C-alpha cells in the first residue's frame, strides 16, 4: 500500500556575532489516505511428526484482503531539534552541531484487517494465539540522533566539508504492549554511524560538490532470523519447521560506502 501523510515544521533562528542558534519542531504525522491496499498471508503444514511420535494434523491458514477491508496508518513521531553554528578563523571555518529528539510512538495497529473466522478449520482456528491474522503492529522508543560537522573555506571557491552523525534504531526495546503477538515488519535492529567528507567548489557561476560517506554498524545478542543448528521437524516453541530453537545470540556487522556527486548549474549572465 501507499500511505499519504501530512507533517508540519516550524523553526526559529537567532544570530549573535559569530554564533547561530536554531530550534525546530516537527509535528506527528497526520493521516490523509492510502491507496493500493493489499494483504495476503498463508501458513501450511503437511506430514509433520512431533517428538512424541504423534503426527500433527495437516492444516492450511489463508486470508487475503484489499482496499476497504484494510485500514492503514504509518505514524511519524513528534521530534524536536536544535542546531548551533560557530564561525571562526575570519569566518573561513565553521563548526556545526545538531541534535534531534524523537518521541516514542505507542504500540498500535499499523495495518488493521477484518477478523475472519473462516481462514482455516475450526480446530486450528481455536488454537491460534492471535486471531487477528492479517493485522500488523508497530511501535518505537524515544531516542536521540546527533551530528557534528566542520567546514573550511580553503580559498575562494574551494571549501572542505566533513561530518559525523548517528543513525540510531527506533525499534530496539520498543514496547509492543498488547500487540506483542501481532505481525511486525521484519527489519534489522542496529545503530549506524556515518562519517562523510567532501569538497565543494565553484566553476564560474556553477557550484559542484563531490565526496563520500563511510557507514558502520554492529550489534550482538539479537534474535536470530533462522536457526538451522540441530533442526527438528517442528520447533513448537517458535512454530518453525526444520529449525532449532530461535535464540538471542546473533551478531551483525555492517559496512557501507557511498559516493556523492552534485552540481548546481547557473546559466544566467549578469
Q: Determine phi and psi for 122, rounding to 5 degrees.
A: -60, -40
* Cα 172–chain centre separation: 11
- Is 195 within a domain? no
Give how far the C-alpha of residue 211 lies from the chain's centroid of Cα atoms, to the nearest Å: 25
Give the burial class of 111: count Cβ atoms within 10 A of its Cβ; 0-12 exposed, 13-18 middle, 19 or more buried. buried
Q: Cell digits for 156? A: 575562494
The answer to whether residue 142 sits within a structural domain is yes
90-140, pLDDT tens digit by residue? Answer: 878 999 999 999 999 999 999 999 888 888 888 888 878 888 989 999 999
Please tell me the pTM assigned to this model: 0.83
Residue 202 lies in a domain: no
Asked whether residue 166 is domain-assigned, the answer is yes
- Output the nine-digit C-alpha cell for 262: 552534485
246 pLDDT exceeds 80? yes
On whether residue 82 sits in a domain, the answer given is: no
Enclosing domain of residue 158:
34-77+108-187
Q: Answer yes or no: is 125 within a domain.
A: yes
Closest CA relative to residue 78, chosen from 30, 31, 25, 32 = 25
Task: Outline where 97-154 has alpha helix (H).
Answer: 122-127
What is the number of structural domains in the chain? 1
CA dihedral 128, 133, 136, 141 (to 10 degrees): -10
In a domain? residue 42:
yes
In a domain, 90, yes or no: no
Instruction: Give the model's pLDDT for residue 214.
Output: 97
In the chain, the N- to C-terminal Cα span, in Å, equals 49
Amino acid at each position: 500500500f501507499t500511505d499519504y501523510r501530512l507533517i508540519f515544521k516550524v523553526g526559529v533562528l537567532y544570530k549573535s556575532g559569530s554564533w547561530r542558534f536554531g530550534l525546530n519542531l516537527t509535528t506527528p504525522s497526520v493521516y490523509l489516505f492510502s491507496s493500493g491496499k493489499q494483504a495476503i498471508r498463508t501458513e501450511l503444514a503437511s506430514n509433520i511428526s512431533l517428538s512424541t511420535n504423534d503426527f500433527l494434523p495437516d492444516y492450511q491458514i489463508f486470508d487475503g484482503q484489499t482496499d476497504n477491508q484494510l485500514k492503514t496508518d504509518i505514524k511519524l513521531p513528534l521530534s524536536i531539534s536544535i542546531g548551533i553554528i560557530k564561525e571562526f578563523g575570519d569566518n573561513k571555518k565553521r563548526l556545526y552541531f545538531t541534535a534531534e529528539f524523537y518521541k516514542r510512538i505507542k504500540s498500535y495497529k499499523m495495518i488493521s484487517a477484518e477478523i475472519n473466522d473462516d481462514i482455516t478449520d475450526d480446530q486450528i482456528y481455536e488454537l491460534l494465539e492471535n486471531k487477528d491474522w492479517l493485522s500488523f503492529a508497530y511501535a518505537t522508543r524515544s531516542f536521540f540522533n546527533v551530528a557534528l560537522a566542520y567546514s573550511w573555506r580553503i580559498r575562494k571557491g574551494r571549501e572542505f566539508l566533513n561530518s559525523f552523525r548517528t543513525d540510531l534504531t527506533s525499534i530496539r526495546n520498543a514496547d509492543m504492549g498488547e500487540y506483542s503477538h501481532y505481525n511486525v515488519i521484519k527489519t534489522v535492529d542496529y545503530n549506524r554511524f556515518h562519517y562523510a567528507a567532501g569538497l565543494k567548489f565553484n566553476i564560474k557561476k556553477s557550484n559542484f560538490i563531490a565526496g563520500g560517506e563511510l557507514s558502520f554498524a554492529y550489534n550482538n545478542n539479537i534474535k536470530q532470523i533462522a536457526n538451522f543448528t540441530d533442526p527438528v521437524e517442528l520447533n513448537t516453541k517458535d512454530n518453525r519447521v526444520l529449525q532449532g530453537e530461535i535464540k538471542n545470540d546473533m551478531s551483525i556487522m555492517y559496512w557501507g560506502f557511498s559516493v556523492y556527486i552534485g552540481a548546481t548549474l547557473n546559466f544566467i549572465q549578469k
